[in-house]
């Protein structure tokens, strides 16, 4: 029986599945393992079931034992893993696509609503009690008739577009390639980023993290947005230059942000905490029982498929 290291605690049913298929080293305390400990615990293992919380950079991968042949990432993203280093070592890397589209898109819509309608301020006011109604009390931005720019029109972006359209928003998008008419569903395509941002009264960041998208939303590109735009991010924190975004909030160039992902999370930039107009969540994109179960089961199935066939349909390197 193959031996695997599971770096974070999974739902019980998923850990049972892992133990049925493998000799599994489980993380019963859900400890955040250091890179050194991952290397130590993977001794004698054939595979690693990792999560986004582990940084498997080239140095770490190069120190893994020769026995490790696959890293199955418990996420649709894989920015925490150096794919080139893994490939050079002959280690396959897999992810869990498709199964978290709906849950993540739901959070994407929540971020839009929360930022536009000043939900953080409203929650705080309600908790304090004694608020006084007036005609201009906590006036926010209405979605109906507002132009939504979607940066990255993959499965999640398309799902957000569908819901937003039902709320009366006008959909614009920028993608590596134009979608067909069915997937586009009336959305307006922009070939370059600047054109999209200039139309985006609300911007939803849904694009994959890559070397090309690090700090894609920065002090220069933020200036393309209409004054008073709203920016939301469900993709990866590395896509946004935090200092530039916080400066834009200070200047009121950006009216509000809705964020579920951050650089260096869970240690988000404290500048966001000083803004009432920042609607922030602790990376809840896939946080439903159904989705987390499906993700873990797929991560396990990826390892099973790899050792049964020598390959895996969800291999990313």
Question: How many whole angstroms separate alpha carbon 96 and alpha carbon 75?
Answer: 5
Instruction: Write out the DSSP string of 133-195.
Output: --TTTT-----TTPEEEEE--SHHHHHHHHHHHHTTPEEEEE-SSPPPHHHHTTPEE-SSHHH
Whether 66 is catalytic is: no
Question: Token digits for 58?
Answer: 């080239």
Catalytic residue among 283, 290, 292, 313: 283
| 171 close to 150: Cβ distance less than 8 angstroms | yes
The owner of tokens 């709203």 is 230
Q: Could you tell me which of 47, 178, 36, 156 has the C-alpha nearest to residue 108?
A: 156
Question: Token digits for 5?
Answer: 């290291």
Whether 190 is catalytic is: no
Residues in the chain: 317
Question: How many whole angstroms separate alpha carbon 192 and alpha carbon 176?
Answer: 9
Catalytic residue among 121, 184, 223, 265: 265
Catalytic residue among 172, 190, 236, 292: 236
Whether 117 is catalytic is: no
Return the bridge partners of 7, or none.
none
Q: Which residues are catalytic, by number? A: 236, 265, 283
């Amino acid at each position: 029986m193959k031996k695997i290291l599971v770096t974070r605690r999974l739902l019980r049913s998923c850990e049972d599945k892992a133990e049925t298929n493998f000799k599994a080293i489980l993380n019963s305390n859900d400890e955040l393992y250091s890179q050194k400990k991952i290397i130590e615990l993977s001794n004698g293992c054939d595979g690693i079931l990792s999560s986004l919380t582990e940084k498997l950079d080239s140095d770490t991968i190069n120190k893994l034992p020769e026995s490790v042949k696959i890293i199955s990432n418990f996420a649709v993203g894989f920015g925490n893993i150096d794919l080139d280093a893994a490939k050079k070592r002959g280690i396959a890397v897999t992810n869990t696509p498709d199964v978290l589209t709906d849950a993540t898109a739901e959070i994407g819509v929540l971020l839009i609503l929360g930022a536009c309608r000043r939900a953080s301020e409203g929650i705080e006011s309600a908790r304090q009690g004694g608020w006084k109604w007036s005609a201009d009390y906590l006036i926010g931005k209405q979605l109906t008739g507002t132009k939504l720019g979607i940066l990255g029109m993959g499965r999640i972006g398309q799902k957000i577009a569908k819901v937003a359209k039902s709320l009366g928003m006008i959909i614009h998008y920028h993608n590596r390639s134009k979608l067909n008419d069915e997937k586009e569903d009336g959305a307006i395509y922009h070939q370059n980023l600047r054109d999209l941002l200039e139309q985006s009264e609300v911007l939803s960041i849904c694009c994959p993290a890559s070397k090309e998208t690090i700090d894609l939303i920065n002090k220069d590109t933020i200036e393309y947005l209409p004054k008073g735009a709203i920016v939301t991010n469900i993709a990866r924190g590395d896509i946004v230059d935090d200092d530039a975004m916080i400066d834009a909030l200070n200047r009121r160039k950006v009216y509000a942000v809705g964020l579920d992902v951050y650089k260096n999370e869970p240690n988000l930039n404290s500048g966001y905490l000083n803004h009432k107009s920042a609607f922030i969540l602790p990376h809840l994109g896939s946080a439903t029982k159904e989705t987390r179960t499906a993700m873990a089961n797929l991560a396990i199935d990826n390892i099973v498929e790899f050792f049964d066939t020598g390959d895996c349909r969800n291999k990313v390197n």
